[in-house]
Amino acid sequence: MEPAKTLEPIPGTIIFDGAMAVKGYALNKMCYTFNGAAGRQEFLADEDAYCAKFGLTPEQTKAIKERNVLALLDNGGNIYYLAKFIGMLGLNVQDIGAQQTGMSVEEFKAKLVAAGH
Amino acid sequence: MARIVGGITTSHIPAIGNAISRELFEDPYWKPFFDGYPRAREWLDEVKPDVAIVVYNDHGLNFFLDKMPTFAIGAAPQYTNDDEGWGLQPLPPYQGDPELSWHIINSLVADEFDICSCQEMLVDHGFTVPMSLMWPDRSKMAVKSIPVAVNTVQHPLPTPARCFKLGQAIGRAVASFPKDLKVVVLGTGGLSHQLDGQRAGFINKEFDLMCMEKIVSDPEALTRYSIHDLVRLAGAQGAELILWLIMRGTMTGTVSKVHSNYHIPISNTGAGLLVLENAV
């Protein structure tokens, strides 16, 4: 059977497929180490050195430094591994939802509540 | 012989784990969610299952992109969780049932499901949050568990139709196990939610409620969606509906609804709870 044909894009959504998994491998590998306290400490002690250790591209390193979730996703970041990075910073999924949609956190939370009405 | 006595669906959001540890059961935000669970626990107390098969997705604790199995089944004597990046405290280990695990693994491969078997496997919130919701008092928890991890991290994800068939094959495997065991299957995750991209915060109540109905009465209707359909209709992480379809596939008897609850929002998610009985 042939692989699926090109699918109609879903606005505001990146499908994390093989191409994205290749593009983001180093970035996601770094984020995977944030499961452990040792990885988190080493990153926080010297962010540039830690990004270099994993061979992140300049775009990925910039997105990490700026905590820019949309740029991290564009550069192959996978939300489940990025969640380790986000969690380490003390942010939750409403915080990054607000960042990605250009809303305040309160506005974003209100949007979620409104979905129930 | 072993038999599947029923199935339960529940969300597995990490924030639920935090709310449990902070005992926010009466908090106005959490109460409509937690109030759904006592009835599920009553049912479990009545049925007293020996084993829980827990269908979940690993969120980057046990599996990385270097090796990403589509379907992985635990075959360990016990399972532990671990820090997932935000300093989670370890929970007491969950007892496994290696004998039943290997029976299921053997049966599935004979049935042409070439799954990955895991003698060591860390379980993350996708597994532990549902267990904490169902069996909050670990000192009284006698049930053993078998984790079934499904790739929802990296596309291609297994299709809804394939997942339903896997559930049916797990059901056949359990039914052919020679010991008298009562097995409950937990389908975790969902319902609609999207964490990533400009579309973050997408929730589709109408679709969720349709799924809550169809998963009971007409699960085949849900198997006709593609993964891309699910991402469009239920959000990027709403594709976790495939975990519910595996649960539903295991039940081949007369399935009836014992209890349900649906609440928006818990974190970014429409949270659906169902307790289904599988009568012979």
Best CA proximity match to A44, nearest among A15, A2, A85, A7: A85
Q: What pLDDT is attached to residue B144?
A: 98
Q: Which residues of A touch B228 (CB under 8 A)?
A: 4, 7-8, 10, 15
Q: What pLDDT is attached to residue B204?
A: 98
Taken in order of first residue, the domains within chain B and their CATH numbers are: 3-279 (3.40.830.10)
Note whether residue A92 is domain-resident: yes
Q: How confident is the model at residue A5 (pLDDT cuts 50, 70, 90)?
A: low
Q: What pLDDT is attached to residue A4?
A: 62
Residues 6+ apart with CB under 8 A from B52: B131, B134, B143, B144, B145, B146, B183, B184, B185, B186
Q: Which residue of B has its CA nearest to A71?
A: B197
Q: State both tokens at B231.
A: 């991402």
Asked whether the bond before B156 is cis by omega within 30 degrees of 0, the reply is yes
Q: What integer is the mean pLDDT of B250-268?
A: 96
**C-alpha to C-alpha distance for B218 and A60, rounded to whole angstroms:** 45
pLDDT tens by residue, B139-163: 999 999 999 999 999 999 999 999 9
3-state secondary structure B202-218: CCCHHHHHHHHHHHHHC
Note whether residue A11 is domain-resident: no
Task: Please determine, for residue A84, whether its predicted confidence score (pLDDT) is greater than 80.
Answer: yes
Percentage of chain B modeled with pLDDT above 70: 100
The domain containing residue A68 runs over which residues?
19-114
Note whether residue A12 is domain-resident: no
Note whether residue A14 is domain-resident: no
Give the closest of B59, B197, B228 to A12, CB-based: B197
Task: Please determine, for residue B207, whether its predicted confidence score (pLDDT) is greater than 90.
Answer: yes
Q: How confident is the model at residue A58 (pLDDT cuts 50, 70, 90)?
A: very high
CA distances from B142 to B4, B137, B145, B215, B255 (A): 17, 10, 10, 28, 25
How many structural domains are present in chain A?
1
Best CA proximity match to B5, nearest among B239, B163, B210, B183: B183
Overall size of chain A counted in residues: 117
- Beta partners for B72? B116, B149
| Crossing angle of helices B14-21 and B125-134, rounded to 10° | 50
Note whether residue A41 is domain-resident: yes
CA distances from A84 to A101, B22, B131 (A): 20, 21, 22
Best CA proximity match to B60, nearest among B120, B104, B125, B4: B125
Q: How confident is the model at residue B231 (pLDDT cuts 50, 70, 90)?
A: very high
Task: Please determine, for residue B126, whether its predicted confidence score (pLDDT) is greater than 90.
Answer: yes
Note whether residue A3 is domain-resident: no
Q: What integer is the mean pLDDT of B185-199?
A: 97
Q: State both tokens at B41.
A: 């626990």
By the CB < 8 Å criterion, does A35 face chain B? yes
3-state secondary structure B101-160: HHHHHHHHHHCCCCCEEECCCECCHHHHHHHHHHCCCHHHCCCEEEEEEECCCCCCCCCH
Residues 6+ apart with CB under 8 A from B198: A11, A12, A70, A100, A101
Q: What pLDDT is attached to residue B95?
A: 98
pLDDT tens by residue, B81-125: 999 998 777 899 999 999 999 999 999 999 999 999 999 999 999
pLDDT tens by residue, A100-111: 999 999 999 999
Q: How confident is the model at residue A3 (pLDDT cuts 50, 70, 90)?
A: low
Domain with residue A47: its CATH number is: 1.10.700.10
- Within 66-95 of A, beta carbons closer than 8 Å to B belong to 69-70, 73, 78-85, 87-88, 92-94
When scoring A30, A34, A112 by the number of chain B Cβ atoms within 10 A, the one with the most, hence best to mutate, is A112
Note whether residue A76 is domain-resident: yes
pLDDT tens by residue, B62-76: 999 999 999 999 999
Note whether residue A9 is domain-resident: no
| A35: DSSP letter | G
Give me the interface pTM, i.e. the ipTM: 0.95
**C-alpha to C-alpha distance for B47 and B64, rounded to whole angstroms:** 37
